[in-house]
Amino acid sequence: MAIVVIGSINTDLTIQVPHFAIANETVLGNGNFSTTQGGKGANQAVAAAAGGLPVHIVGKVGRDAFGDAAILDLQSAGVDCSHIFREADHSTGIAAIFVDPDGNNSITVAPGANALVTPADVQAATALIADARIVMLQLEIPLAAVTETIRIANLHGTLVMLDPAPATMPMPDLDGVDYLTPNEIEAEALTGIAINDDNGPERIIAELRQRGTKQVALTLGDSGCCISSNDTLTFIPAKQVQAIDTTGAGDAFNGFLATGLAKGLPAAEAAKTAGAAATLSVTRAGARENFPGWDEVQAFLVR
């Protein structure tokens, strides 16, 4: 029942800003910046671990203080870090994050050691992938490593969940993907179809399934999410909350979705849990340090 994440590990440097700077503009942020743990892969691993299942991460950090802190944080969340490799000549990945008063963010990532994850690193984790129920991927590591993961997982019957984020990155072949989890921007980048009154989630999901992925969980920000299960679509509205910081909402969603599915929940139930976890996460600052626990999410669902 284990989950394996092959993905990025970053340190997040966050500034609260009154508005995002445009080109050649300097904006004064509010007070101090915060240094917190991030990276889509690491965030998703921590969210997945909240469900109590064994979670392993495969990735790379530098031989620097940020790398030490990232590994300690993952270990304290219960994530197995035995497949995190250290790169002497590269820094740990860094994300410069700006958060506006509405909780929206603007993120620029310096990949550092994340850019050095290779197919050979993934092959070294073949036994983990083969034994796992689900392998989780995002696009903050090289495409070759993502593609190799899909190949190995398909070979061993391990489910593949791909979060196609960031939206601008080259995409693997979707044929080997079991669950694709785009947000609206990523879905539009993949299909060329913007969600609007004429094109609803149904059309986007049908188009993505046409392109190879078996199922789709499309996140829709404060509107919630929509998940397919074979040919049935379930729309799950988000509870109304005051968003403080949406950083990591997609990661909370992915981690809880994977855990829910690995625990054997039907897709719509797993997505309900995932949506609730993500909604709770936007009510708190930062990415993963304030992710909710499994029980807290269950309590929120019945509130």
Catalytic positions, written as ranges: 251
User: The dihedral of CA 103, 108, 112, 115: what is its sign?
Assistant: positive
Quick check: 7 binds ligand ATP (CB under 6 A)?
no
Q: Is 220 in the site for ligand ATP (CB under 6 A)?
A: yes
Closer residue to ligand RIB (CB): 43 or 228? 43
Q: Among ligand RIB, ligand ATP, none, what binds residue 222 when CB lies within 5 to 8 Å by partner kind?
A: ligand ATP
Q: Which DSSP helix (H) or strand (E) runs through 266?
A: none
Residue 268 found at the interface with ligand ATP (CB under 6 A): no
Q: What is each CA distance from 80 to 23, 62, 71, 96, 144, in whole angstroms?
A: 41, 18, 9, 26, 23
Distance CA 12, CA 281 (A): 16
Taking the complex as a whole, the smallest distance from the CB of residue 40 to ligand RIB amounts, in Å, to 5
Would you say 27 or 241 has its CB closer to ligand ATP? 241
Residue 282 near ligand ATP by CB under 6 A: yes
Residues 6 or more apart in contact with residue 231 via CB below 8 angstroms: none
Q: How far is the CB of 275 from ligand RIB (least distance, A)?
A: 16
User: Toward ligand ATP, which CB reaches closer, 175 or 200?
Assistant: 200
When the beta carbons of 51 and 275 are compared against ligand ATP, the nearer one is 275
Exposure class string for 157-170: b at 16+ Cβ within 10 A, else e: ebbbbbbbbebebe
The item of ligand RIB, ligand ATP, none sharing an interface with residue 194, based on CB under 5 to 8 Å by kind, is none
DSSP string, 136-184: EE-SSS-HHHHHHHHHHHHHHT-EEEE---STTS----GGG-SEE---H
Q: Which of ligand ATP, ligand RIB, none lies near 40, with the C-beta cut-off 5 to 8 A by kind?
A: ligand RIB
Which residues contribute to the site for ligand ATP (CB under 6 A)? Answer: 183, 219-222, 224-225, 238, 241, 243, 246-251, 253, 275, 278-279, 282
